[in-house]
Amino acid sequence: MKGRTNYIAIALLLILMGLYLFSVLGYTDMTHDKRYTLSPAALHVLDRVDSTLEIHVYLKGEFPASFRKLAEETRRLLERFRDRNPYVHYRFINPAKQGIIDRLEKQGMLPARITVRRNNRLEQIEIFPWAEIHYRGKTEHVPLMVSAPGVEVEEQVNRSVENLEYAFASAVYRLGLKQKPAIAVLKGHDEWPDAQIAGLLMLLRPYYRLAPFTLDSLNTNPQRTLEQLRRFDMVLIAGPRKPFSDTAKYALDQFILNGGKMLLAVDPVHAYKDTLMVHGKTYALNAELNLTDWLFAYGIRLNPVLVKDLSAAPVVLKTGEVAGNPQLEPFPWYYSPLAQPNTHHPIGKNVGKVKLDFASDIDTLKHNPLHKSVILHSSPYTQTVGVPVQINFSEIGAEPDRQLYRDGVKIFGIVVEGHFRSAYADRTKPFDTDYKEKGLSKIAVFADGDILRNDLNKGRPLPLGFDKWSRTQYANGDFLLNTVFYLTDNDGLFALRNKEIHIPLLDKNKVVARGKSMAALMVVFPVLLWLVAGLLYGWWRRKKYAR
């Protein structure tokens, strides 16, 4: 009796110690991928919240198991947010019961339509994988579902779970900003007109202040021009077609050295698809933009060639006419590569293919100490074409000679970051300045100016990445928005997109093949287990009390 009392006392003591440690230390994340541990960047964002932050999650109702998992993971994440900062409040709302579906759709929070089987028939239900955050009179809409066309729902949900921490933390970060970062849209070098980059500008406008900027006043007052440029966080250079002067390059060089960020989308070769569509042919010529020496100093070389890729977008051509209606047919067009984002980099993770037109390739220089990351590349089946060259539609329809497409993977886009050294450090400077090297900087360079150009329909801009002829939406918008987020992220928040959570998925083929046998086993095995346990217990009793 005394021994039993001692055991009970020890058990109670262990339970009390466990409760005390849990109350002091909280939970311990024992998962291999640390899925329940908030990153330092997210903690830093939460620690700056100093008044009530209200989160409404619209994932409530009856829906498939995969979405229930997304809702549960969202709840667990928000619990950790609330544990870190008591100003955080959240609640789950069923939009149908609250009668707010129309409001959500008007605000751009569109539903996901899922087909489910109920009572032996298929039904389509609407699910709103969105959250709404209110803080200091401002509101952010947070998409909980990562768009991944062609991917099964379970895998899509897993990718969404990986993205949850970044989605919420970045939204809270933006709400806490007193002023949006500013982007200068460079003018003066025959860049794309606003109508043809309107798709990108519309994507950026909710997050950034956008303003056109020219370098015309450099010749008269360079120091004042630099001071004005310094007020911006990033410079966007969209498809220039006129050469840059040394004065302009030096001003941009000093902007970068001062910690400024830059996105440069440039055509090393000029070839015009509009001319090709009208006349059936065009000429590809060296662009002569006078950027070679400037980019070379940063470890980048743009090659004046065109890359043909067997992984390419189609071109839609008129092949005939029936009853007055034109007959349109798509043909593979190898001068329009479907570029692959680097899925190991946060910019390219969970992003689809990006459509380019008449793209060139990029070389990196090993001697340069700056860190370089490839963010966009071709397939391995490429052919490089030197310029000048005539391009026409005569090759359409012919089977390509695959022996010619063996030039390997080509680089279309790259990010360079680190402490930059001036491109004019050992050269005569176009003008005097008191600027000094300050802090880290990043630049993104693309060897194709069309990556950020949208089509027009009767003069009205279409969404970025939408091909009006094939009616296909490519991922140019998501990719470039991620690129700008990465360039302007000074807190390491964007790196959360690389978070990986390993959630094993059921093999549906095995479930179908072995489902009945496993179900039968699950029914029979517990019964057999109890029978064996009963027989062993009876044998033990007979042996013990046989005397």
Residue 513's pLDDT is 62
Phi and psi torsions of 423, nearest 5°: -70, -15
Q: What is the largest CA-CA distance in the chain?
A: 115
Domain with CATH 3.40.30 in the chain: 31-178+491-523
Give me 85's structure tokens: 């900062």
Domain with CATH 3.40.50 in the chain: 182-490
Residue 306 pairs with which residues in a beta bridge? 385
Residue 231's pLDDT is 93
Q: What's the CA gap between 154 and 160, in Å, rounded?
A: 10
Instruction: Answer for the pair 502, 33: CB distance below 8 angstroms, yes or no.
Output: yes
Q: What's the CA gap between 143 and 346, in Å, rounded?
A: 17
Residue 2 amino acid letter: K
Q: What's the CA gap between 444 and 265, in Å, rounded?
A: 8
Q: What's the CA gap between 440 and 236, in Å, rounded?
A: 18
Q: What's the CA gap between 338 and 347, in Å, rounded?
A: 17
Record: fold of 31-178+491-523: Glutaredoxin (3.40.30)
Which H or E run includes 95?
helix 95-98
Phi and psi torsions of 130, nearest 5°: -135, 155
Q: What is the DSSP letter of 193?
A: P
Residue 286's CB is within 10 A of a number of other CB atoms, namely 13
Residue 114's pLDDT is 77
Q: Which long-range contacts (CB under 8 A, 24 or more apart) does 284-290 make?
A: 284/358, 284/385, 284/387, 284/388, 284/389, 284/390, 284/391, 285/387, 285/388, 286/387, 286/388, 287/241, 288/243, 289/189, 289/240, 289/241, 289/242, 289/243, 289/244, 290/243, 290/244, 290/245, 290/249
Residue 476's pLDDT is 96
Q: How many residues does the structure list for the chain?
A: 547
Residue 307's pLDDT is 97
Residue 515's pLDDT is 63
Domain 182-490 falls under CATH 3.40.50: yes
Phi and psi torsions of 199, nearest 5°: -60, -45
The DSSP annotation for 248-295 comes to HHHHHHHHHHTT-EEEEE--SEE--HHHHHHHSEEEEEE---S-HHHH
Residue 470's pLDDT is 86
| Tens digit of each residue's pLDDT, the chain (547 residues) | 555 566 677 777 777 776 665 554 455 555 655 666 788 888 999 999 999 999 999 988 887 887 888 999 999 999 999 999 999 999 999 988 888 889 998 888 888 877 766 667 777 778 889 999 999 999 999 999 887 666 677 788 888 888 899 999 999 999 988 889 999 999 999 999 999 999 999 999 989 999 999 998 888 899 899 999 999 999 999 999 999 999 999 999 999 999 999 999 999 999 887 788 777 788 999 999 999 999 999 999 999 999 999 999 998 877 666 666 767 788 889 999 999 999 999 999 889 999 999 999 999 988 788 999 999 999 999 999 999 999 988 778 778 889 999 999 999 999 999 999 888 888 888 888 766 666 689 999 999 999 999 999 988 999 999 998 888 999 999 999 999 999 999 878 887 787 766 555 555 555 556 666 777 777 887 888 888 888 887 887 777 776 5
